[in-house]
Amino acid sequence: MDAQIAKLKEWVDSSDNIVFFGGAGVSTESGIPDFRSVDGLYNQQYKYPPETILSHTFFMAEPEEFYRFYRAKMLALDAEPNTAHLKLAEWDRMGKSRAGVTQNIDGLHQKAGSKEVLELHGSVLRNYCMRCRKPYDVRDIAAGTGVPKCECGGIIKPDVVLYEESLDSYTINKSVEYIRNADILIIGGTSLAVYPAAGLIDYYRGNKLVLVNKSETPADRRADLVIHAPIGQVFSQL
């Protein structure tokens, strides 16, 4: 076992106050593509970049085009939790993990069995009518075509934080509380490029800040332990 992974295992084994902060890299290992990855095929299919389509303005102005992209690129309902999700759920059951704070919207942490999951950017699994707030199942959205409408006539919107929309204040405050009080903060599968979510790690006050990511991040310099490897590969050894 790599010395850094051995050190992380030692820390994890002796802690009952671990908080995990994760991003897209956790989900890509379950086969969910990072929606930001644009290739030639993408440009043949869509006239706008993903960040434009996934904005509040675009959703309100072009809901049909939004849903064409959303169904094709954002819904991966058959994806299964991977080693990282399952290890975090195991720590949860053992009373070691306090919370998982995620930027992902796929619900895989809960599917793996984690109880306390704070979804900074919402979830594709929840959908509501914008007019009457009636909830709708994601499978109804996935199976439909065009713009999904409620029986009251309102447009159904996924409970996902789009660009230009603000994060839920309860979720933010709860995440800050967990991060601030954590013994170990493990940051995994995120380049820490998306704000304000990435700014939350600044609230950590401990001395066991761990970064597990395939590439370098802006927080590498201040981390107490840095492991540049796929998160599933690392977590399978813990």
Tokens representing 225 are 């332990």
pTM of the model: 0.93
- pLDDT confidence of residue 195: 81
Q: Write down the mean pLDDT value for the chain.
A: 94
- pLDDT confidence of residue 39: 66
- pLDDT confidence of residue 159: 98
Tokens representing 57 are 């303005």
Categorize the per-residue pLDDT at 37 as very low, low, confident or very high, splitting at 50, 70 and 90: low
DSSP 135: E
Q: At residue 214, what are phi and psi to the nearest 5 degrees? A: -65, -35
DSSP 212: E
| C-alpha closest to that of 23 among 228, 211, 173 | 211
Please give the sequence-ordered ranges of beta strands (E in DSSP) within 173-228, or none if there are none.
Answer: 184-188, 209-212, 225-227
- pLDDT confidence of residue 191: 86
- pLDDT confidence of residue 38: 67
Categorize the per-residue pLDDT at 41 as very low, low, confident or very high, splitting at 50, 70 and 90: low
Tokens 């991040």 sit on residue: 217
- pLDDT confidence of residue 235: 97
Does residue 109 have an active-site annotation?
no
- pLDDT confidence of residue 12: 97
Exposure string for 61-84, b = 16+ CB within 10 A, e = fewer = ebbebbbbbbeebbbbeebebbbb
Full set of structural domains in the chain with CATH? 3-32+81-121+167-235 (3.40.50.1220), 40-73 (no CATH)
Kindly tell me if the per-residue pLDDT of 1 is higher than 80.
no
- 156-201: pLDDT as tens digits: 999 999 999 999 999 999 999 999 999 999 999 998 887 888 899 9
C-alpha to C-alpha distance for 147 and 93, rounded to whole angstroms: 40
To 5 degrees, how large is the angle CA 12–CA 14–CA 20? 30
- pLDDT confidence of residue 105: 96
Q: Which of 56, 85, 109, 121 is catalytic?
A: 121
